[in-house]
Homo-oligomer: A and B are copies of this chain.
Amino acid sequence: MAQVATESATTAFSDRLAAAVERKRSQLCVGLDPRVDLLPVELRGDPPADAVARFCRGIVDAVAPHAVAVKPQLAFFEALGAEGMRALEEVCAYARAAELLVIVDGKRGDIGSTGRGYAAAYLEGDAPLGDALTVNPYLGRDSLDPFLSACRRSGAGLFCLVKTSNTGGADVQDLALSDGRTVWMQVAKLVDEWGEELVGANGLSSVGAVVGATFPREVGEARRLMPRAVLLLPGVGEQGGTPADVARAFTSGPASGLVSASRSVIYAYRNGGGDWRASAGIEAARLRADVWAVSGW
């Protein structure tokens, strides 16, 4: 743990990510969305938070050879209260020890003093929970300053919501601006600016963007608007996106896109039967290979 923390303090997130992508030849991020009602039967006798922690540790073991990152979804841990947060801490430490990057999916964003609380909670301190955090841009630049400071100081990363994978995202993100662009395109421009000062040795910024794989045309446009951003691409699998839909994300380098799949990997056993860990590993390996192939690297 101490060694991981020291490394994270000295190397930019985007450079750590790029090194992991090239070492593993993988652009896969596995989402940890532990829903108690979907856990394997063998875990259901445990108290919910213990079952969730065991499940996530098993998934980490299974996908570690194939993925570069895991993305714990905070809501599912928060739903279990204080015990859930303890499970989150355990799972994050376990994943980092397995040399996976941890992208905490909290979609946080709040004004100044509160934002500092979140940055401290997730990205800083002696043993930060995660290497990166997802954030929401609705409150603007000053709400993200504490997170940007954490990136500079501690080598953390951010992924800012830009164009999300759900259909309802259009309600706000697709509104037409007076100059003909949409709200999400302007947010993309802001993300590009915010990330300027955090470009690593490999040319990628530690300020990335969330762009839904469910909107292939927008993935290409997002790449054009944010040439240095790592695009975190949810929506492959259960939500209907395919690896081919995100091919254009990778034109800025092998690590310039991360495909995030959650349910299709971690609950793979529910479709095929068999051991849940083995099923997750097989699905992760398959998706890793498919994505690597379309990425063109």
Which residues of A are in contact with B by a Cβ distance under 8 Å?
A: 33, 35, 73, 75-76, 78-86, 89, 107-115, 117-118, 120-122, 136-143, 161, 164-173, 175-178, 180, 183, 186-187, 190
Known: A111-B166, A138-B161, A172-B183. 10 other contacts (CB 8 A): A35-B117, A75-B114, A107-B108, A111-B164, A137-B171, A137-B172, A140-B168, A143-B169, A175-B183, A178-B180
Q: Which residues of B contact A108 (CB under 8 A)?
A: 75, 107
Q: Which residues of B contact A140 (CB under 8 A)?
A: 164, 166-173
Q: Which residues of B contact A75 (CB under 8 A)?
A: 108, 110, 114-115, 117-118, 121
Tallying the copies of this chain within the complex gives 2
- Complex: A86 Cα to B85 Cα, angstroms: 10
Main secondary structure of the interface of A (DSSP, over half): helix
**Contact among B78, B136, B168, B177 with A117 in the assembled complex (CB-CB below 8 Å):** B78
Given the known inter-chain contacts A79-B120, A85-B82, A178-B178, please indicate yes or no for A35 contacting B136, CB distance below 8 A.
no
- Complex: A180 Cα to B178 Cα, angstroms: 7
Q: Is the CB of A121 within 8 A of B78?
A: yes
Q: Is the CB of A138 within 8 A of B141?
A: no
Chain B residue nearest to A122 (CB atoms) is: B78
Q: Is the CB of B112 within 8 A of A109?
A: no
Q: Is the CB of B114 within 8 A of A33?
A: yes
Distance from A148 Cβ to chain B, minimum over Cβ atoms (Å): 12
Q: Which residues of B contact A138 (CB under 8 A)?
A: 136-138, 161, 164, 169, 172-173
Distance from A171 Cβ to chain B, minimum over Cβ atoms (Å): 3
Q: Is the CB of A82 within 8 A of B83?
A: yes
Distance from A149 Cβ to chain B, minimum over Cβ atoms (Å): 14
